[in-house]
Amino acid sequence: MLKKYGTKVVHTNMGTMMRQPLQPWETWQKYRLIARPDAGAAAELAAVADSFRAKAGGEGLYPEPVLCFFEQRLPEASEQLLLKWLQNLCSHQPAFEVQVNNVSGLPPHLVYARLQPTEGLQAFTQKLHSLLKDLAGVTNSSRQLLQQVRLPLITELPTHLFHLAMGHFSPVDLRLQLPVALLELQVWQADSNNWKRLQVLPLVQQPQPVYEPWYQIH
């Protein structure tokens, strides 16, 4: 069983800080940060994914279409620190838009809505990755991030169906503008095999003139 103790010196992009003595971490949880498309966009995304169900013959999973900004295992004892830092980040983060530009895939099992990089999305993910890097330093946890922000449509496809899906979706013209004004931090519940909401995190509707640090260690 994994335990970590001691006082931790943390080197962050704001300088070197001393954190309080670490607690023994015996329980690890999987967390993710998501944004939900509005009802119309969610229905359109679900309809695109559903168009492949008949060909899939019951294979694969069709999750609720959500933007996933990160998914990572962390010590449960660090949950409040993660939440606090995310609240500080979001309290200074202007709402932004994400553009969906057709359907793509990641072999051998994942079909997702391809996202067009936007200035707002790139600025937010840069801050988020910095936050998670610093959190990994505090918790001594590995930094297991998604390689990019994704919007999964179908997961866990058998390999032969993945290639069939790519042919099915290649002529699809899917273009959407997804406003991101609310984020949601979730934790995985193994007993119910589902994600549980921990906190809704609103973004700033109007940009603030002064940017402040998104975290503070006491």
**Tokens describing residue 215:** 């975290």
Q: Please report the pLDDT score of residue 205 as a whole number.
A: 87
Give every CB contact of residue 182 below 8 A, 6+ residues apart in sequence: 35, 36, 200, 201, 202, 203
Cα dihedral 52, 53, 58, 61 sign: positive
**Cβ burial, residue 71 (10 Å; 0-12/13-18/19+):** middle
29-202 topology per CATH? Cyclic Phosphodiesterase; Chain: A, (3.90.1140)
Query: What is the pTM (predicted TM-score) of this model?
Result: 0.81
- What is the distance between the alpha carbons of residues 62 and 53, in angstroms, rounded to a whole number? 9
Question: Which pLDDT score is estimated for 13?
Answer: 47
The pLDDT of residue 26 is 65
Query: How confident is the model over 86-124, as pLDDT tens digits?
Result: 999 999 999 999 999 999 999 999 999 999 989 999 999
Enter the tokens of residue 93: 């983060």
Residue 218 CA to residue 201 CA, distance in Å, equals 22
Delimit the domains of the chain by residue range: 29-202
Residue segments in the chain with a per-residue pLDDT below the cut of 50: 1-11, 13-22, 217-218
What pLDDT, on the 0 to 100 scale, is given for residue 27?
A: 86
pLDDT at 7: 43
Question: pLDDT at position 138, please?
Answer: 77
pLDDT in tens, 142-167: 655 555 789 999 999 999 999 999 99
Q: How far apart are CA 173 and CA 70, in angstroms?
A: 27
Q: Cα–Cα distances in Å, from 44 out to 33, 64, 192?
A: 22, 12, 28
